[in-house]
Amino acid sequence: MIVGLDMGGTHIDAIIMNDGAITKVVKKPADYDDLFHSIWSTLKELLQGIDPSAIKKINLSTTISTNAIVENKTARVGMIIQGGPGLPNEHVAVGAENVFISGYTDHRGEVVSDIDTKEINEAIELFNDRKIADIAVVTKFSTRNPTSELAIAKRVSEQFQKITLGHQTSGKLNFPRRVNTSYLNAAVYDTFSRFSDNITLSLEKEGVQARVSILKADGGIMSIDSAKHMPVETILSGPAASLMGIQALLDTHEDAILLDVGGTTTDLFFLADGVPLFEPVGIKIDAYKTLVRSIYSVSIGLGGDSRIIVEDKKLKIGPRRQGKPFALGGPVATPTDAMIVLGQLDIGDSALAKEALAPLATDLGLSIDEVANEVLDTMARMIKAKADELLSEINSKPVYTVKELLHGKQLVPKSIGMIGGPANVLAPRLEKEFHIPCRYPQYYEVANAIGAALAKTTTEINLIADTSRGTLSVPELGVYEKIDRNYSLRAASERALTLVTERAVAMGATRAGLETEIIEESVFNMVDGFRTKGQNIRIKAQVKPGLIHSLKGRVVCKTKTDDTEVIPPIEKIDGIRVNGRPGSLSTCNAQADVATGTGKGFATASGGTHA
Interface with other proteins (CB under 8 A) = 83, 85-89, 91, 106-108, 110, 112, 140-141, 144, 172-177, 281, 287, 289, 396-403, 405-406, 522, 524-527, 529-532, 536
CB closer to other proteins out of 49 and 398: 398
Q: DSSP assignment of 193-255, as one string?
A: HHHHHHHHHHHHHTT--PEEEEE-TTS-EEEHHHHHH-GGGGTT-HHHHHHHHHHHHS---S-
The distance of closest approach from Cβ of residue 296 to other proteins in the complex, given in angstroms and rounded to an integer, is 16
CB closer to other proteins out of 216 and 469: 469
The distance of closest approach from Cβ of residue 102 to other proteins in the complex, given in angstroms and rounded to an integer, is 12
The distance of closest approach from Cβ of residue 364 to other proteins in the complex, given in angstroms and rounded to an integer, is 36
For residue 544, the 8-state DSSP code is P
Put residue 601 in one of left, alpha, beta given phi > 0 → left and psi -120 to 50 → alpha: left
The distance of closest approach from Cβ of residue 147 to other proteins in the complex, given in angstroms and rounded to an integer, is 16
CB closer to other proteins out of 362 and 396: 396
CB closer to other proteins out of 358 and 518: 518
The distance of closest approach from Cβ of residue 410 to other proteins in the complex, given in angstroms and rounded to an integer, is 12
CB closer to other proteins out of 83 and 238: 83
Pairing of strands 77-82, 221-223: unpaired
The distance of closest approach from Cβ of residue 145 to other proteins in the complex, given in angstroms and rounded to an integer, is 12
The distance of closest approach from Cβ of residue 282 to other proteins in the complex, given in angstroms and rounded to an integer, is 10
The distance of closest approach from Cβ of residue 590 to other proteins in the complex, given in angstroms and rounded to an integer, is 48
Q: CA 364, CA 370: separation in Å to the nearest integer?
A: 10
218's CB contacts (< 8 A; 6+ apart) are: 240, 278, 293, 294, 295, 458, 545, 607
The distance of closest approach from Cβ of residue 565 to other proteins in the complex, given in angstroms and rounded to an integer, is 44
CA distance to 466, 513, 544, 581, 602, per residue, from 462 (Å): 13, 22, 15, 46, 18
Strand order in the sheet with 11-18: 221-223, 211-215, 57-61, 2-7, 11-18, 21-29, 553-557, 592-594
Q: CA 322, CA 306: separation in Å to the nearest integer?
A: 7
CB closer to other proteins out of 54 and 112: 112
CB closer to other proteins out of 85 and 207: 85
Q: CA 251, CA 559: separation in Å to the nearest integer?
A: 23
CB closer to other proteins out of 56 and 485: 485
Name the burial class of residue 107, with classes exposed (0-12), middle (13-18) and buried (19+) by CB atoms within 10 angstroms of its CB.
exposed
H, E, C per residue of 300-354: ECCCCCEEEEEECCEEEEEEEECCCEHHHCCCECCHHHHHHHCCCCCCCCHHHHH
Q: CA 397, CA 603: separation in Å to the nearest integer?
A: 10
For residue 561, the 8-state DSSP code is -
CB closer to other proteins out of 53 and 396: 396
CB closer to other proteins out of 85 and 331: 85
Q: CA 290, CA 143: separation in Å to the nearest integer?
A: 15
The distance of closest approach from Cβ of residue 27 to other proteins in the complex, given in angstroms and rounded to an integer, is 39
